[in-house]
Amino acid sequence: MSTTPDPREPNNPPTTINPDLAAERSNTPFNPTNITNFIDGNDPNITARRRQLESWIIRDPTGIFSNEYNNYLHRTERHKRALAKFTRLVVSVL
């Protein structure tokens, strides 16, 4: 795996991206920015807000947003984690 800058935000620290995935992404027959704009309703404020939230989730030091062990949790525990994620996101935003 190689370390390349996250294309979503130029100021993000490097993230690890599989080289095969990076190669495939560079060969797309469409412009990813155009797809992003379409999904976000061509509103740059929505795109910026979504990227900001995504950045907060990725950088959260508590690790609450990790889904690594979700397959091994009981339904009740998954529900508690979902509520904890929601609470953490609301606290981060406010």
Whether residues 86 and 51 share a domain: the answer is no
Q: Count how many domains the chain has.
A: 2
Whether residues 75 and 48 share a domain: the answer is no
Contact 55, 91 (CB under 8 A): no
- State the average pLDDT over residues 45-72: 88
Whether residues 15 and 47 share a domain: the answer is yes
Q: Is the pLDDT of residue 13 over 90?
A: no
What DSSP string runs through 34-82?
A: HHHHHHTTT-HHHHHHHHHHHHHHHH-TT-TT--TTGGGS-HHHHHHHH
Greatest mean pLDDT among 38-42, 55-59, 65-69: 38-42
Whether residues 74 and 49 share a domain: the answer is no
Whether residues 78 and 46 share a domain: the answer is no
Residue 20 sits in which domain range? 1-59
Whether residues 39 and 54 share a domain: the answer is yes
Would you state the structure tokens that stand for residue 94, as one six-digit string? 């406010």
- State the average pLDDT over residues 70-87: 92
